[in-house]
Amino acid sequence: MSYCLNPTCPNPENLAYSDRCHSCGSSLLLRDRYRVVKALGQGGFGATFVARDESLPGEPSCVIKQLRPSGTAPHVLQMARELFEREAVTLGRIGNHPQVPRLLDYFEDREHFYLVQEYISGLTLQQEVKAQGAISEAGVKQFLTEIIPLLQYIHDQKVIHRDIKPANLIRRAQDSRLVLIDFGAVKNQVSQTAAMQSGQTALTAYAIGTPGFAPPEQMAMRPVYSSDIYAAGITCIYLLTGKSPKDLDYNPTTGEMMWEHLVTISPHLSGVLRKMLEVSVRNRYQNAEEVLRALEMEPYLNSLAQSLVTQPVGGIKERGSSHPVDSGVLQNNTSGSYSSAGVAQVAAAIRARRAKIAEATGATSHRLVAAKVASYGSNNTEATQGSKSQMIRQLNLDGLRNAYTKGRRDFASHNLSLLNLQGIDLSGTNFHSAILERANLQGANLFNSDFGRASLNRTILRDANLSKAYLSHADLEGADLRGADLSYAYLNNANLRGANLCGANLTGAKVSGEQLTLAKTNWMTVRPNGKRGLL
């Protein structure tokens, strides 16, 4: 089909390869090369189409955005033209990123302005949630690890997206990476200025963004970089609940969205999301780097939150060490609470101390904690060891199976070493920072589970379903992953030294070539690009 771009055409659909519109007579070949085949969407200030570039071999698909200024006065057209060209330069610059569509062309034709961009094949996050339902905490963590670095890149280019939402995030079919589309900055800039000069309130409303996803300062036409962080946080709530912001209740006093009673997630992730969603810009994360730092603190926050108020200032020590953590990072607080900055500094100090201890003793921090747990004894009950700050807990097979059957999905920081869990169903479970060394998980269903920073050293995962599992920073050294389904798993920064990936399926997995060179593969291994062969 050939689609007519004339905004006033009463019947824009035409037969394929027609030269002129049968309804209004307009040319159907834009700039003698682009043939529009279908409309994607239309708003108050423009429209988006899929087209074929007939000037190139194979006639590759592209996306054409048509900007339609609402007025025809010379000053309105000139303003639109200048801002359009400035924005085209910006899009060309930020398009040099694998998660942003490339700008292919831009031009003016009959007082309409056009942007031609790379076509991204795949489903939006909105389409995925509508088809498959809400996703787990592990899925949201994976989303954040993909989108927050992208926001950091965009903001470094002095660009605010202004319309982060599930409908503007496409999971590219080729490699399953999230791609951010529809920057819309041209429309925002043009419509803001036009509104000031012409008083057209419809354009002003259009410039705000998407209601519910846009924070208050953006609704007041004063967006900042953290406005995108707020919108990313709202997107996380949509992913966790499957509900649009308009379907959620708001606190009438504070204006905050009420969502926590609808989800079951770790206290740490809940805290990160709360700060991303602060109504006040002052209290929100100021930039993407702060969000990334908060996410990296996860393995330490649970124990810190429960132990800081019970420890005297200057007396907090790393477990298994005689060296105190620098007491200067804490401020005495008679209310029994500490600032997030103090917690962050303590977490950093503990990380540094653990690294030194591990280096000196030749043992990983996971094994130090495991030895500490073993010294307390019980192998057949779930116990909190010794003090309120000891968060590594031990479970036996029956305890794990019974808890899972009763609906429990959070086993973060548990010791499950040496357990025989062959063929067990533990899909969608949180094992963040857990110890599963030498456990037998052959044939287990671990779909969409969170093993971030978990110790899986020499664990048997043969033929296990680890599709979409979150394994960032996990220790998989020497693990048996023969025939395992790791499709679309997130393995960034995981230790794969000596891991056996013979016959494993890594289609769409997030893993680097450097990581895979440390693992064992064979001709039956399916690489991330979907092809079989040695890596």
Q: 65 among the known binding-site residues? A: yes
Residue 526 structure tokens: 């399916």
| 442-to-252, 423, 489 alpha-carbon distances in Å | 51, 6, 17
Cα 6 from chain centre: 38
Catalytic position from the list 109, 156, 163, 249: 163
Going by their DSSP bridges, the two strands 46-53 and 61-67 should be labelled as antiparallel
| 150-to-113, 164, 342, 470 alpha-carbon distances in Å | 27, 12, 28, 19
Reported for 437-443, long-range contacts at CB under 8 A and 24+ positions apart, including other chains, are: 437/366, 437/367, 437/370, 442/480
Q: 463 an active-site residue?
A: no
Q: Which burial class, exposed, middle or buried, applies to 305 when counting CB atoms under 10 A from its CB (0-12, 13-18, 19+)?
A: middle
Q: Alpha-carbon distance 103 to 81, whole Å? A: 17
CA angle in degrees (0–180, nearest 5) for 516-142-481: 35
Q: Alpha-carbon distance 442 to 187, whole Å? A: 54
Identify whether the C-beta of residue 414 lies closer than 8 Å to the C-beta of residue 393.
yes
Q: Alpha-carbon distance 51 to 356, whole Å? A: 58
Q: Alpha-carbon distance 458 to 481, whole Å? A: 10
Identify whether the C-beta of residue 47 lies closer than 8 Å to the C-beta of residue 62.
no
Percent of the chain that is helix, strand, coil (3-state, to 5): 35, 15, 50
Residue 258 structure tokens: 């009420």
Q: Alpha-carbon distance 37 to 52, whole Å? A: 7
Identify the CA nearest to 142 among candidates 444, 492, 409.
492
Residue numbers belonging to the annotated binding site: 65
Binding site for ATP: which residues? 65
Active site residues per annotation: 163
